């Protein structure tokens, strides 16, 4: 057997080593030529770089990307400058070719100064700009200006009394009639315009100091204080006569202490001379999204605005079919009284 056959494995291993050494030398020998063929660095035009033309701009681009490019409001002194328009922001309606300088020219919408529109970033360029309501709280720009409130904040608004509308008077007409008395006691009948009735007969007459009636609609509404005899002229026969006058105190919460003086007996002929009224006003608050939503307040009663608020800062002093009188405390702490005509709002001082 030959030596090669006996040492085949050794010969194969030796050949592999020789091939590996040859490939390694070939790679080392070619390393110096790579730069000429491909370019090992991004040197740019003129630096023997044929791979990426214009690559000398890459460092500049990287530097640019690292810059802070946050936009900031430009100022001319303390005055903001609009950098996004090349035309005048405002012109005079009578002379469109004439630019209006909000800081130097007269107010666009007197008495609101032009700076007010700029401060709140509102557009005064409409004919009805003072009457617009950007925050939707029911108060116009002129309302907010006069009250020194924020026209862009629906939670900042003038006194709500300014938007209180008196819709109508809702009153109940009634009469209380004493009958013939005995020993200071009297019977009574009650009737009203809605058909309500109460009656105390002569068999169960009311004594001074007692409350009456014992059933609805006027249960315990009245208290008999007493009676006295007075001289009065009977207009029908023009003769002075003795008349018994009965004194009754109202016990209704908003009328507590009111005293009525009624002749006894009160005839049908004189009934209309002694008509009384339980008056209520129907209001609507034309602000804060409540326009047209009516609510009722009794005369001589405190109430709140909005009507579901816990704090009752307003007082309905009197009600008539034509108007109401409301009292309230203003922002300075002063007590104010305003009249509101039917279908209207109160006239308030700016």
Per residue in 79-121, pLDDT (tens digit) is 666 666 554 567 776 777 777 787 888 898 999 999 999 899 9
Distance CA 279, CA 272 (A): 17
Report the pLDDT value the prediction gives residue 232, as an integer from 0 to 100: 87
Report the pLDDT value the prediction gives residue 68, as an integer from 0 to 100: 80
For 319, the 3-state DSSP assignment is strand
Report the pLDDT value the prediction gives residue 80, as an integer from 0 to 100: 67
Give span(s): CATH 2.30.30, the chain.
160-169+279-341
pLDDT at 1 over 90: no
Report the pLDDT value the prediction gives residue 228, as an integer from 0 to 100: 96
Report the pLDDT value the prediction gives residue 6, as an integer from 0 to 100: 53
Where residue 209 falls (left for φ over 0; alpha for ψ -120 to 50; beta otherwise) is left
Report the pLDDT value the prediction gives residue 236, as an integer from 0 to 100: 78
Locate 347 and state its tokens. Answer: 């006239």
Query: Which tens digits make up the pLDDT trace of 320-344?
Result: 999 999 999 988 889 999 999 999 9
Contact, 177 vs 271, CB < 8 A?
A: yes
Locate 231 and state its tokens. Answer: 């001289």
Residue with token string 């002379």: 95
Q: What percent of the chain has pLDDT over 70?
A: 80
Locate 17 and state its tokens. Answer: 């080593």
Query: Which tens digits make up the pLDDT trace of 45-54?
Result: 555 555 566 7
Among the listed residues 93, 94, 84, the one whose alpha carbon sits nearest the alpha carbon of residue 124: 93
Please provide the average confidence, as pLDDT, over all residues in the chain: 85
Q: What are phi and psi of 160, to 5 degrees?
A: -65, -20
Instruction: Taking residues 119-128, report their average pLDDT.
Output: 90
- Radius of gyration in angstroms for the set of CA atoms belonging to the chain, rounded to a whole number: 48
Query: Which tens digits make up the pLDDT trace of 169-189?
Result: 999 999 999 999 999 999 999
Tell if the pTM clears 0.75, that is, is over it.
Answer: no
Distance CA 202, CA 296 (A): 38
Distance CA 180, CA 220 (A): 21
Residue 38's pLDDT band, with cuts at 50, 70 and 90, is very low
Report the pLDDT value the prediction gives residue 295, as an integer from 0 to 100: 97
Query: CB atoms < 10 A from the CB of 139, how many?
Result: 26
Cα-Cα-Cα-Cα dihedral sign, residues 147, 151, 154, 156? negative
pLDDT at 281 over 80: yes
Query: Which tens digits make up the pLDDT trace of 227-259?
Result: 999 998 887 778 888 999 999 999 999 999 999
**Residue-wise over 293-313: b if at least 16 C-beta within 10 A, else e?**
eebebbbbbebebebeeeeeb
Say which CATH topology domain 160-169+279-341 has: SH3 type barrels. (2.30.30)
Lowest mean pLDDT among 68-72, 267-271, 317-321: 68-72
Where residue 77 falls (left for φ over 0; alpha for ψ -120 to 50; beta otherwise) is left
Instruction: Taking residues 256-281, report their average pLDDT.
Output: 95
First to last CA, the chain: 128
Provide the 8-state DSSP code for 89: S
Q: What percent of the chain has pLDDT over 90?
A: 61
Contact, 275 vs 175, CB < 8 A?
A: yes
């Amino acid at each position: 057997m030959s030596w090669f056959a006996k040492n085949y494995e050794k010969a194969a291993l030796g050949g592999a080593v020789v091939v590996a050494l040859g490939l390694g030398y070939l790679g080392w020998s070619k390393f110096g030529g790579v730069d000429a063929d491909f370019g090992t660095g991004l040197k740019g035009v003129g630096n023997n770089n044929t791979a990426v033309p214009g690559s000398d701009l890459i460092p500049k681009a990287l530097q640019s990307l690292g810059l802070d490019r946050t936009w900031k409001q430009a100022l001319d002194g303390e005055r903001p400058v609009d950098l996004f328009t090349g035309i005048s922001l405002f012109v005079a309606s009578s002379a469109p070719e004439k630019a209006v300088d909000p800081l130097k020219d007269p107010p666009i919408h007197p008495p609101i100064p032009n700076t007010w529109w700029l401060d709140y970033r509102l557009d005064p360029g409409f004919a009805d700009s003072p009457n617009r309501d950007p925050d939707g709280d029911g108060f116009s720009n002129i309302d907010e200006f006069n009250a020194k409130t924020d026209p862009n904040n629906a939670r900042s608004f003038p006194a709500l009394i300014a938007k209180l509308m008196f819709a109508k008077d809702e009153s109940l007409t009634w009469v209380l009639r004493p009958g013939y008395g005995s020993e200071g006691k009297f019977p009574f009948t009650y009737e009203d315009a809605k058909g309500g009735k109460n009656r105390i007969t002569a068999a169960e007459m009311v004594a001074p100091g007692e409350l009456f009636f014992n059933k609805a609609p006027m249960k315990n509404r009245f208290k008999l204080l007493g009676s006295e005899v007075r001289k009065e002229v009977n207009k029908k026969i023009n003769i002075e006569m003795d008349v018994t006058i009965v004194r009754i105190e109202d016990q209704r919460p908003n009328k507590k202490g009111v005293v009525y003086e009624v002749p006894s007996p009160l005839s049908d002929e004189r009934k209309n001379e002694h008509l009384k009224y339980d008056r209520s006003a129907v209001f609507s608050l034309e602000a804060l999204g409540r326009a047209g939503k009516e609510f009722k307040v009794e005369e001589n009663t405190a109430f709140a605005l909005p009507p579901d608020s816990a704090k009752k800062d307003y007082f309905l002093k009197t009600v008539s079919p034509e108007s109401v009188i409301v009292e309230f405390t203003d922002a300075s702490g002063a007590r104010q009284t305003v009249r509101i005509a039917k279908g209207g709002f109160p006239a308030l001082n700016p």
